């Protein structure tokens, strides 16, 4: 190849990489393809083309390009790593694991394998990989994220601390010094740091890092769950101590036909998402007379009906999309196994019986020590008022993820039209960014969680949830949070939602969303 041709190719590759770095992957793909037509055996170009396909979620084409890259350069570790990621994201997990195992000299691939094995519910194998990583590199902080997830799934409170002590001993430094040196440049490092500080008794420091982690990723269930539980245990320990006895309980075999668990509950989504998954499992177990085993999630600290035994074993995982499971959802066919762990949701509000609706409402009754305070909030709101109107306005991660977020003006227009006809109304605003939102409704003198004299030390999601469940008129948000709260409402007279298709406030049937 002549120098001019080499220069042309070099410029073409540089231009494609520039497009790729600026997330213009379609343009990058076109130029990478032109490059490969000229230089077919360029391993780097195939690898980079695969990366753009991976970013566009065209996993099959990504897999093909990474395989081409490896065929040309069999020692190219980054191609093995990204080929494994493409298989993983294409739900070919066994192939992904086999791919990662070919290059385990690479620490990053080791981490991916440990995370993948956990995703496959091969928990013991995942823990073994984590231990190998720490043996070779005790300063590999990110591995503790996986170990924390493993401990959550196994309901074992010794795995993380044991690993932490081994690391400190191997490095011959104090745990405090090792914790201080954990980086703070992303949500996972902040979460690890916060979790470990709390675990070693430094509550205030740990909570500071968990809050910082949540600001970086406001929708992350794993941050939200542990932050909430930590705060509840710190301030309400004596009141929740009896529930700790559940750790020693197992499902009595003579009463139940089988056992079903959901060991990742609490690691994904905030309260509404977690409740939706839990209720699906709860109703399924009720239909089949199965016992539920659950990890340490938020529901058991909030609601009377969520005091299930803790997970006692590792069961085979079955996806909710599995045909044998789907056939059994309504109770007319038997479950696929006597004991299994469910991955995915099976909650369908539009197909619930009246009895099941009441069952949900009873299940999500707040615990007595919480309900006493929550009822005082309702009394304060309704003092000299008759009609409690609640609006749920979701911002935060919805804005970040480009979901539909109705404007305050949409609600204001509706309120101005309806307000004069209501009997002594009072307005309550529920929102994850309430201070920013509340000011828009100043003419209606709205209440929010911060207006109550006696408040909880943990976040305000439970207060918002309960007030929505006790309101006379509700405008639900687009999230499952306010819709589930409305399902617990047996007294509302009017129910509305902000329809994203018409961008208008319309009547709504919460049982058919």
Could you report the per-residue pLDDT of 262-318, keeping only the tens digit for each?
A: 999 999 999 999 999 999 999 999 999 999 999 999 999 999 999 999 999 999 999
**Number of C-beta neighbours around residue 210 at 10 A:** 24
Mean pLDDT to the nearest integer, 356-372: 93
Mean pLDDT to the nearest integer, 129-151: 95
Q: Same domain for 336 and 453?
A: no
- Whether the pLDDT of residue 3 is over 70: the answer is no
Determine the Cα–Cα distance for residues 372 and 484; give it in Å rounded to an integer: 21
Compute the mean pLDDT over every residue in the chain, rounded to the nearest whole number: 90
**β-pairing, 339-343 with 473-476?**
unpaired
* 245-265: burial string, b at 16+ Cβ within 10 Å, e else: ebeeeebeeeebebbbbbbbb
**β-pairing, 387-393 with 339-343?**
unpaired
How many domains does the chain divide into? 3
Q: Same domain for 305 and 321?
A: yes
Mean pLDDT to the nearest integer, 166-187: 95
Q: Same domain for 307 and 413?
A: no
**Number of C-beta neighbours around residue 74 at 10 A:** 11
Q: Same domain for 350 and 379?
A: no
For the chain, the C-alpha Rg in angstroms (whole number) is: 26
Q: Same domain for 49 and 65?
A: yes
- Whether the pLDDT of residue 249 is over 80: the answer is no
Cβ atoms of residues 357 and 398 within 8 Å: no
We report the CATH number of the domain holding residue 75 as: 1.25.40.10
Residue 56 lies in a domain: yes
Residue 322 lies in a domain: yes
- Whether the pLDDT of residue 513 is over 50: the answer is no
Residue 86 lies in a domain: yes
Task: Record the tokens describing residue 20, joined without a space.
Answer: 């790729």
Backbone angles phi, psi at 319, to 5 degrees: -80, 150
We report the CATH number of the domain holding residue 416 as: 3.40.50.11350
Global pTM reads 0.89
How confident is the model over 187-242, as pLDDT tens digits?
999 999 999 999 999 999 999 999 999 999 888 999 999 999 999 988 887 776 54
Q: Same domain for 317 and 393?
A: no
Residue among 11, 61, 18, 56 nearest 38 (CA): 11
Most confident of 357-366, 397-406, 491-500: 357-366
Given 76, 103, 130, the domain boundary residue is 103
**Sorting pLDDT into bands at 50, 70 and 90, what band is 245?**
very low
Determine the Cα–Cα distance for residues 493 and 491; give it in Å rounded to an integer: 6
Query: Residue 374: which domain range?
Result: 368-512
| Residue carrying structure tokens 């929010």 | 448
**Sorting pLDDT into bands at 50, 70 and 90, what band is 350?**
confident
- Look at residue 157 in the predicted model and tell me its pLDDT: 82
Beta-sheet strands, E only, within 395-472 = 425-431
Q: Same domain for 377 and 492?
A: yes
Mean pLDDT to the nearest integer, 104-120: 90
Mean pLDDT to the nearest integer, 16-28: 93
Task: Record the tokens describing residue 218, joined without a space.
Answer: 């406001």
Residue 212 lies in a domain: no
Residue 500 lies in a domain: yes
Mean pLDDT to the nearest integer, 163-168: 96
Determine the Cα–Cα distance for residues 458 and 465; give it in Å rounded to an integer: 14
Given 66, 87, 103, the domain boundary residue is 103
Where is pLDDT greater, at 464 or 456? 464
- Look at residue 253 in the predicted model and tell me its pLDDT: 59
**Sorting pLDDT into bands at 50, 70 and 90, what band is 389?**
very high
Residue among 218, 199, 197, 220 nearest 209 (CA): 197
**Sorting pLDDT into bands at 50, 70 and 90, what band is 248?**
very low
- Look at residue 406 in the predicted model and tell me its pLDDT: 84
Q: Same domain for 389 and 292?
A: no
User: By CB neighbour count within 10 A (0-12 exposed, 13-18 middle, 19+ buried), where does 88 fall?
Assistant: buried
Q: Is the dihedral of CA 449, 452, 458, 463 positive or negative?
A: negative
Residue 55 lies in a domain: yes
* 362-392: burial string, b at 16+ Cβ within 10 Å, e else: ebbbbbeebeebbeebbeebeeebebbbbbb
Residues in the chain, total: 513
155: left (phi over 0), alpha (psi -120 to 50) or beta: left
Going by the DSSP 8-state scheme, the letter that residue 53 receives in this structure is H
Determine the Cα–Cα distance for residues 460 and 228; give it in Å rounded to an integer: 10
- Look at residue 508 in the predicted model and tell me its pLDDT: 87
Q: Same domain for 41 and 8?
A: yes
Given 103, 118, 135, the domain boundary residue is 103
- Whether the pLDDT of residue 2 is over 60: the answer is no
Task: Record the tokens describing residue 472, joined without a space.
Answer: 């006379």
Where is pLDDT greater, at 435 or 429? 429
Task: Record the tokens describing residue 161, joined without a space.
Answer: 């601390």
- Look at residue 241 in the predicted model and tell me its pLDDT: 55
Residue 288 lies in a domain: yes
- Look at residue 240 in the predicted model and tell me its pLDDT: 66
Q: Same domain for 297 and 420?
A: no
Q: Same domain for 309 and 435?
A: no
Taking CA atoms, 490 is separated from 58, 358, 361, 505, 510, in Å, by 46, 9, 8, 22, 12
Q: Where is average pLDDT lowest: 194-208, 314-328, 430-444?
A: 430-444
Q: Same domain for 301 and 401?
A: no
Helix (H) / strand (E) containing 302: helix 299-302
- Whether the pLDDT of residue 247 is over 50: the answer is no
Helix (H) / strand (E) containing 305: none
Residue 111 lies in a domain: no
SS3 label, residue 394: coil
- Whether the pLDDT of residue 252 is over 80: the answer is no
- Look at residue 464 in the predicted model and tell me its pLDDT: 94
- Look at residue 459 in the predicted model and tell me its pLDDT: 75
Residue among 57, 77, 56 nearest 66 (CA): 77
**Sorting pLDDT into bands at 50, 70 and 90, what band is 255?**
confident
């Amino acid at each position: 190849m002549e120098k001019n041709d080499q220069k042309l190719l070099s410029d073409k590759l540089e231009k494609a990489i520039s497009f790729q770095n600026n997330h213009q992957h379609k343009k990058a793909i076109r130029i990478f393809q032109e490059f490969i037509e000229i230089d077919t055996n360029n391993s780097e170009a195939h690898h980079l083309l695969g990366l753009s396909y991976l970013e566009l979620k065209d996993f099959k084409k990504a897999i093909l390009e990474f395989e081409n890259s490896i065929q040309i350069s069999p020692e190219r570790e980054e191609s093995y790593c990204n080929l494994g990621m493409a298989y993983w994201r294409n739900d070919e997990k066994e192939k992904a694991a086999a791919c990662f195992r070919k290059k385990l000299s690479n620490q990053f691939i080791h981490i991916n394998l440990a995370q993948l094995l956990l995703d496959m519910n091969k928990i013991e194998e995942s823990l073994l990989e984590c231990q190998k990583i720490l043996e070779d590199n005790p300063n590999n902080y990110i591995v503790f994220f996986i170990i924390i997830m493993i401990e959550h799934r196994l309901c074992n409170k010794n795995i993380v601390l044991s690993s932490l002590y081994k690391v400190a001993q191997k490095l011959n430094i104090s745990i405090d010094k090792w914790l201080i040196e954990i980086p703070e440049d992303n949500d996972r490092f902040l979460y690890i740091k916060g979790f470990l500080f709390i675990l070693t008794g430094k509550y205030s420091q740990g909570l500071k890092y968990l809050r910082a982690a949540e600001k970086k990723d406001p929708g992350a269930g794993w941050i939200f769950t542990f932050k909430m539980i930590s705060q509840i245990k710190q301030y309400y320990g004596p009141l929740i101590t009896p529930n700790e006895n559940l750790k020693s309980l197992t499902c009595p075999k003579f009463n139940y036909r089988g056992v079903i668990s959901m060991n990742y509950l609490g690691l994904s989504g905030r309260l509404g998402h977690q409740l939706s998954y839990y209720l699906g499992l709860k109703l399924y177990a009720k239909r089949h007379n199965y016992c539920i085993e659950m990890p340490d999630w938020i529901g058991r600290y909030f609601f009377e009906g969520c005091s299930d035994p803790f997970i006692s074993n590792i069961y085979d995982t079955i996806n909710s999309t599995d045909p044998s499971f789907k056939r059994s959802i309504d109770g007319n066919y038997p479950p696929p196994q006597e004991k299994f762990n469910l991955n995915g949701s099976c909650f369908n509000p539009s197909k619930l019986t009246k009895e099941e609706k009441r069952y949900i409402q009873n299940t999500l009754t707040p615990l007595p020590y919480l309900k006493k305070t929550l009822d005082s909030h309702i009394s304060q709101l309704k003092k000299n008022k008759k009609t409690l109107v609640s609006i749920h306005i979701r911002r935060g991660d919805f804005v970040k993820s480009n979901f539909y977020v109705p404007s305050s003006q949409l609600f204001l227009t509706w309120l101005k039209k309806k307000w004069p006809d209501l009997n002594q109304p009072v307005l309550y605003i529920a929102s994850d960014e309430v201070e920013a939102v509340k000011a828009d409704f100043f003419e209606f003198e709205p209440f929010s969680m911060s207006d109550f004299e006696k408040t909880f030390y943990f976040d305000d999601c439970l207060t918002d949830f309960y007030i929505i469940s006790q309101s006379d008129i509700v405008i639900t948000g687009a999230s499952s949070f306010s819709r589930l709260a409305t399902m617990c409402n047996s007294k509302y007279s009017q129910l509305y939602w902000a329809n994203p298709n018409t961008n208008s406030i319309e009547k709504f049937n919460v049982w058919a969303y």
